[in-house]
Amino acid sequence: MPWEEEQDRLTEEARLFLASPEAVFEQLKKFSTKKEWWDTRDRFEGSLIERNEPLINLALACYGKSQEVFKALYKHSLEPARDEADARYKEGLRIGCLSNTTERFLVAFPKELIGSEETERLLNQGTDNEVTALIRNPCIDDDLLATLYRRADMFARMPDERWLRLVSISCANERLVTNEPGEDMPDLGFMRIHDAIFGLLEVAPVQTSVAHILYRLLDSLNPWEVDSPKKIDHVLTRWATLEDRDARGKAREGYFTSLPFKDEFRCIIAALYGSGYVNGKRVIHGSQNAEDVAFRCAYYGKGDITAQQMAAGYKRDRNVFTFAVLFNNNVYERKLRALLEEQYLGAMSDRYFKYLQQKRKRWPYDPGPLSQELRDQAAESGIQFEAVQPTTTDLGRRLNNLTAEVSKLKRDILWVSCIAIAIMIAILYKFPR
């Protein structure tokens, strides 16, 4: 480290202790985005809180790492307010704490920091801003989100309206589309959340207001990062009973297709969850020739579709086909993607851009739209699909991963060979010729 940087590091605490509250706020916010800050920032948070400056306290609530400072600030925020200004300040402290995304503090957030009783009080009685800060915080405990979707424990005792409000707020939580598997194991918390989301379709009241909230939830997900249920027919049958008519008795229209809302809702369920695993084998929960449009959408969304089947599906179901096939990973293969853009996309380019952006989170080198016309259209909407080329670092990481996999495979082969030889020796010893 150059001496100038070392000197800055050594004098950092003194400078922040003397800096204006505004400067401290901006510096703590800046530090929170730097990985190297995780191991050092809490060393002087105690000094900063001693200044007892409201803006510095708010910065510590939003961006601090120290659990002790967090608990002290949250406890202070619950003290009776002296006046209206103090009440706004203390609510701001609570919102700052609840929106803090610092490395999950390595605990179940927020229960292990504010307690089970306060967590339940907050979820039941907190202001809209407070519960939004918590429910949309991507560092919220995975099991708390899963419990919300299962409507278990504290949520089982909650009035329907409040529970549904929390589900609605959760639609914008980035954790729902952020799968973070480890080197040797899947992201189990992510899997529990998505298992609970599908389970929500099995237990939520079959009501129009509920269906609209669940539609928003499903439409916020990444189609390639959802649960793979063994069956969906019971869910599709359940929501087929939805009574969804306006005051004149006319079926309400869907958001994106020519179908009534009820059927479009069933189609988004089918397109998202149209494949699963039964006895270790992948199955498709529908077919292209099914009588029920939802089961056709299950195939359009997850089946191993071909160019010929795309033509037949579009001929039969038009924009319903396009709506569902955008969930199908196969159509993003270059040849089928070109067909999709040229012949079937129609008015659903915005949804196409949305799913392309989601694909790039998992596959950063996805080319985006193939046609210049669509790239220009995306740019007009503020969406850029610049070509992304692998860097030397990326290629090195890929090579290292591949080398590690080959080494692991060699070890596995060696172990299997040793076991096989041992078995053969044992057999020869027991049954000599």
Is residue 123 in some structural domain?
Answer: yes
Domain assignment of residue 191, yes or no = no
**Can you tell me the distance from the alpha carbon of 124 to that of 140, in angstroms, rounded to the nearest whole number?**
17
Q: Is 289 helix (H, G, I), strand (E, B) or coil?
A: coil
* Of the candidates 187, 203, 195, the residue with the CA atom closest to the CA atom of residue 226: 195
Dist. CA 52–CA 57, nearest whole Å: 7
Which 8-state DSSP code applies to residue 81? P
pLDDT of residue 392: 43
Length of the chain: 433
Q: Is 144 helix (H, G, I), strand (E, B) or coil?
A: helix
Q: Average model confidence (pLDDT) for the chain?
A: 89
Question: Range of 91's domain?
Answer: 1-138
For residue 27, give both structure tokens: 């510096």
**Model confidence at 181: pLDDT above 60:** yes
Q: Which helix (H) or strand (E) holds 277?
A: strand 275-278
Q: What pLDDT shows up at residue 395?
A: 44
Encode 108-119: b = buried (16+ Cβ within 10 Å), e = exposed: bbbbebbeeebb
Structural domain includes residue 363 = no
The rounded distance, in Å, linking the Cα atoms of 427 and 423 is 6
- Beta partners for 275? 284
Percent share of the chain, pLDDT over 90: 74
Average pLDDT over residues 86-105: 90
Looking at residue 362, its pLDDT comes to: 82
Query: Which residue has 């639609």 as its token pair?
Result: 171
> Is 94 part of any domain?
yes
Q: Give the side-chain half-sphere CA count within 13 A for 2.
A: 3
- Classify residue 143: in a domain, yes or no: no
Domain count of the chain?
Answer: 1
Instruction: Name the residue among 218, 99, 207, 101 with its Cα closest to residue 149.
Output: 218
Is the predicted pLDDT of residue 61 greater than 90, yes or no?
yes
Judged by phi (left if over 0) then psi (alpha if -120 to 50, else beta), residue 428 lies in alpha
Percent of the chain with pLDDT over 70: 86
Does 196 map to a domain? Answer: no
Which tens digits make up the pLDDT trace of 106-155?
689 999 999 999 999 999 999 999 999 999 999 999 999 999 999 999 99
User: Which residue type does 131 have?
Assistant: V
How many helices (H) does the chain have, and how many strands (E)?
22, 2
Confirm whether 133 is domain-assigned: yes
Which tens digit of pLDDT belongs to each residue from 273-320?
Answer: 999 999 999 999 999 999 999 999 999 999 999 999 999 999 999 999
